[in-house]
Amino acid sequence: MKKLVLILLSILVLGILGAKVDLNTATLDEIRELPISEVQARDIFEYRTFVKILHSIYDLREIPSIDQHTLNRLKPLVIVSMHIESDDVAMRRSEVQELLERLDSSEGSSEGMADVWEDYLMTPQNVNRMHYDDLVSLPNVSGVDAVAILRRVARGDTISEMRDLRNTMGLSHYGYTNLRNYVYYKEPPVKNRLMFDISMQYYTRYFDEAQQNMLKESFVPKTHANSWVTIPHDKRLSYWGYFDLDQIQPDLMLKMRMRYGSNYKMGIMHFSQKADAGLLKSNARDFINDAKYYVGYENTRLPGLTNSNLKTYLGHYRATFGEGLVMENTDYYSARKTGFGFSKRIMGITPDLSRTKEYALRGAAVEFSHPNFGASFFVSQDDKDALAYVHPDGSYVMLDKENREIFRDDNDVDYVLIDGTAHYTDENGDPIVGHKRKFFSYINPTLPYDNDTLLQAEAYFNEQLNPISGSGQTYNAYAMPYINLATRRDALNEKLWGTHLQFSPIIGTRLGFTTYTALYDNAHFVTPDFRDMFPLLLRDSYNYPKLQKALNAEISSMYGTLTDNYARNYRRVIGFDGGTVIGNTSIQGEYAELSINGSDFKLGDDPKAYLISAHTQYENLYFTTLYRNYDIGFDNPYSNSFSEHERYDDTMLEKNVYALTNPTIGDIFNNSNQSQPERGVYFETRYKFNNYFTIGRSYLDLWERLSDGRRSARFQSELEFRPLFQLAMRIRYKNQVNRYDDLADRGVSKTNEYTVAVRTFLSNRDFLELEYRYNTVKSPPYTNLTWPAEGGNNSMAAAQTLMTGDYICVNYTHNFSPALKLQGSFLYWYGHGISHWDWEDMEIDFMGEKGAKAWITISSRISNNMYLNLKFRNKTYQDKELRIRQNNDPNHPNLADHLTYFERVEHSENTIRLSLDYRF
């Protein structure tokens, strides 16, 4: 009997407990059934969702609307179950990380973009108070999506929850699924939450192929073309050998950010580039001076101004407006940056803790925005790296107060030339004094060394560039026998101010004006004309006739503050942007001019650039059209717009690094962030027929390179067949033709790429993919690589060569648990002269002639607040065997010495990337 009573009591207790509401798992509707008000129910739900999981019934007292009387009333009706905390912000951040990893694009995402999106995840915004620029800055949220939300809110139809957001008329599925992670629907009940995160990264990254080729260029080759003298090889005659760059040094990064509620933000980041142990060696003062940092305040509820926002930032910030023609400050270039999908621009003023250094803005910025108008004002003062004119001893070439170049005689005495005569005193009889430094251009250097270290290396190289003796004769080896252009760190003091004004008369329509002026108080940029460019940039006069004038017009058209027509101390860019939404189509564009000889108040009298695009979307289809036209003279270092290639592509700064007076001049191209001068039209689409067939991202670009008139076409399309949800088969075709308008021209090249991939989506979100790629390149041969190369009639010069290459790859992802994931890949390629690329993890890699590569990444959430990412990669590959002839002189005494032989070399690279992230 007792046993029966106990059983009945147990059933009764369990029934009572079962009837209670579990506050950690209950839906909003279940909480509403409790004897509390609507406001209290929603406050409990949002506290649990956005602040923290309840550990005790007494945690309810932390909610302002829950008093002790309400708590006492709820005690017998609710329970708080044990619950493993699953932080909403962390989940959303992980989701964005996965979206970026799955981004099926060879171009990847913009540098620093994920940082800003993650910041938005940590401090979401109220969707009912967001403005147009806030919405379109989020991934895969188009102008059409933004206008759909704004029009609904303007009608007074408040969006109250996620389901309500999905039902917004005109909002696409992709817009909704990406937007929902970044927004609240009401203000959170507890606003004053302190959030802190710290990230550390250790990465043994190798220099890329172009950087290695530049740094390995010897100042004195094995044989000199004009002298026939064989020079003993010394590996220290290159930057690579002098600094012993075979010894891999890691990149080190430390980043800390803090937020208090959604109003106060601050952060600091220190990045030490490879071969520079600055993060480990710096004292506290040097650490701050070399770091990037910001302090910011944002307010979305300005008193007396409905739906107005204010941002203020001190320190480093990023400014982006329009289509990036006037202002988008970044060190990094991204091809075909349309501004849609993941190829986004985050509009307005945002904090900047990215690796951008050369074009970073450091100062103060204020942004005010309202649904009908907005204004941004920003100022910056920073020391920039620049390519300087230097004397043989490494000192700066200076200009006197009359902007005349100061020369130095053999006794190291300065003088100026007036009417061809040397003057050692000025008009007042005083010694010549330098007032301004003479620079060639901005430069984003690959080598991170300070000026003293670079001066020591240059002194050694100059010593080796002395006249060469041999065969009983002395040869003055070069037309430029010393380093005359050199990178100088923090040499150019730049003061920059800028303004952006925007007017929006109706929802979705906006007109904007942007301008900035950069002041240079201690310097002049001096760009030589084409006649003087070769002696300035090329060491050996033998190379002068080999270079095309038209192709190098981008160099001779660089902006200068001192020319035959004017002398000024600034660079100014002015532009207009605008856009509107008509139905399901958004139209946007920008026009910009670089002030040179024309008036600031007149359009069309200075080098210009303009772009206009239209984006039409349906539920399963989108179509993008874009037209751009950038003048050769539009040299704006703060521009980062759509293009196929970066500025200086195919010029001597890329193709003829071996001939430059200083190989590191090639950094102007290697680390260029600007678009190449080009004119063209671009089309892009994606269409999902049904659940089985999808045409993936496909595009066609037809453009003309304005420097030499070369016309090119690039096409890519892919088709995916998915007979089952777990299985997908994809084929992709890519074609590019250069100089398609004149097939008889020797510059014609044709590239085809064929890809077949099979993907299977396993249980627990595991993933397995097998991919095969075949490439062909048809182009004229490089006759200096033709063997034999004894001169005379060379039939290969008029021929076409066909290169083929293939690549096979296996990718795998395994999720051991929600907190532990493993990714890996193995691939083998044989290039036959073709460059292959591979999208690995979160970065793109270009491979050599032939080889194999394997990498593995482990991602783990090792605690509630700590994340670990560890990656190891091995790449083993071969260089291509080359024989390069020096010239065509048939009377050379020894034809065997007439060639420079580059043997095939095996390389093996092992890299480690370790990242730790702690969030509180």
Q: What does the pLDDT average to over 86-102?
A: 51
Least confident residue range of 8-12, 441-445, 497-501: 8-12
Structure-block tokens of residue 792: 């005379």
| Whether the Cβ atoms of residue 103 and residue 109 lie closer than 8 Å to each other | yes
Instruction: Report pLDDT for 782.
Output: 56
Instruction: Report pLDDT for 2.
Output: 47
Q: What does the pLDDT average to over 295-316?
A: 85
Q: What does the pLDDT average to over 452-463?
A: 91
Instruction: Report pLDDT for 793.
Output: 45
- The answer to whether residue 292 scores a pLDDT higher than 50 is yes
Structure-block tokens of residue 816: 């051991």
850-861/585-594 β-pairing: unpaired
Instruction: Report pLDDT for 788.
Output: 45
What is the residue extent of each domain of the chain?
4-86, 87-191, 209-400+435-676, 703-920
Residue 598: phi, psi to the nearest 5? Answer: -85, -175
Which residues, 6 or more positions from 727, have their beta carbon under 8 angstroms from its beta carbon?
758, 759, 760, 761
Structure-block tokens of residue 539: 């060491």
Dump pLDDT digits (tens) for 370-428: 999 999 999 999 999 999 999 998 999 999 888 888 888 777 788 888 877 777 777 77
- Write down the number of H helices and E strands in the chain: 19, 41
Secondary structure (DSSP) of 698-722: EEEEEEEETTTTEEEEEEEEEEEEE
Confidence at 528, pLDDT banded by 50, 70, 90: confident
Which residues, 6 or more positions from 67, have their beta carbon under 8 angstroms from its beta carbon?
none
Least confident residue range of 209-213, 558-562, 637-641: 209-213
Q: What does the pLDDT average to over 771-780?
A: 87
Instruction: Report pLDDT for 445.
Output: 93
Count the helix, strand and coil residues of the chain and give each as a percent rounded to the nearest 5: 20, 40, 40
Instruction: Report pLDDT for 228.
Output: 41
Cα–Cα distance, 684 to 345 (Å, whole number): 18
**Mean confidence (pLDDT) of the chain:** 82
Which residues, 6 or more positions from 760, have their beta carbon under 8 angstroms from its beta carbon?
726, 727, 728, 767, 768, 769
Confidence at 33, pLDDT banded by 50, 70, 90: confident
Instruction: Tell me how far CA of residue 701 lies from CA of 110, 710, 734, 840, in angstroms.
Output: 20, 14, 12, 26
Structure-block tokens of residue 223: 């044989």
Which of 751, 749, 726 lies closest to 738, judged by CA?
749
Structure-block tokens of residue 1: 């009997």
Confidence at 281, pLDDT banded by 50, 70, 90: low
CATH architecture of 4-86: Orthogonal Bundle (1.10)
Q: What does the pLDDT average to over 197-216?
A: 86
Dump pLDDT digits (tens) for 155-202: 888 888 887 888 888 888 888 888 887 888 876 644 677 888 888 989
- The answer to whether residue 268 scores a pLDDT higher than 50 is yes
| Whether the Cβ atoms of residue 268 and residue 296 lie closer than 8 Å to each other | no
Stretch (H or E) spanning 912: strand 906-919
Q: Given the structure tokens 């043989």, which residue do they identify?
A: 392
Which of 297, 299, 296 lies closest to 353, judged by CA?
296
Instruction: Report pLDDT for 467.
Output: 59
Confidence at 322, pLDDT banded by 50, 70, 90: very high
- The answer to whether residue 724 scores a pLDDT higher than 90 is no
> Half-sphere exposure of 480 toward its Cβ, with a 13 Å CA cutoff?
26
Confidence at 883, pLDDT banded by 50, 70, 90: very low
Which is higher by pLDDT, 561 or 739? 561
| Whether the Cβ atoms of residue 608 and residue 634 lie closer than 8 Å to each other | yes
* Fold held by 703-920: Porin (2.40.160)
- The answer to whether residue 9 scores a pLDDT higher than 90 is no
Which residues, 6 or more positions from 419, have their beta carbon under 8 angstroms from its beta carbon?
none
Q: What does the pLDDT average to over 98-115?
A: 48
62: left (phi over 0), alpha (psi -120 to 50) or beta: alpha
Q: What does the pLDDT average to over 216-222?
A: 76
Instruction: Tell me how far CA of residue 449 lies from CA of 235, 454, 487, 494, in angstroms.
Output: 19, 7, 10, 21
- The answer to whether residue 146 scores a pLDDT higher than 90 is yes
- The answer to whether residue 103 scores a pLDDT higher than 60 is no
Instruction: Report pLDDT for 500.
Output: 97
- The answer to whether residue 233 scores a pLDDT higher than 80 is no
Dump pLDDT digits (tens) for 461-502: 988 877 554 444 444 467 888 899 999 999 999 999 999 999
Instruction: Report pLDDT for 641.
Output: 94
Strand partners, 824: 812, 856
Instruction: Report pLDDT for 29.
Output: 79
- The answer to whether residue 279 scores a pLDDT higher than 90 is no
- The answer to whether residue 106 scores a pLDDT higher than 50 is no
Which is higher by pLDDT, 382 or 909? 382
| C-beta neighbour count of 788 within 10 angstroms | 11
Instruction: Report pLDDT for 469.
Output: 43
- The answer to whether residue 565 scores a pLDDT higher than 80 is yes
| Whether the Cβ atoms of residue 184 and residue 203 lie closer than 8 Å to each other | no
Cα–Cα distance, 203 to 41 (Å, whole number): 48
Least confident residue range of 263-272, 648-657, 795-804: 795-804
Structure-block tokens of residue 28: 């909003």
Instruction: Tell me how far CA of residue 678 lies from CA of 315, 329, 603, 610, in angstroms.
Output: 35, 21, 20, 11
436-442/398-399 β-pairing: antiparallel
Cα–Cα distance, 522 to 136 (Å, whole number): 40
The size of the chain, in residues, is: 920
Q: What does the pLDDT average to over 882-894?
A: 47
Confidence at 674, pLDDT banded by 50, 70, 90: very high
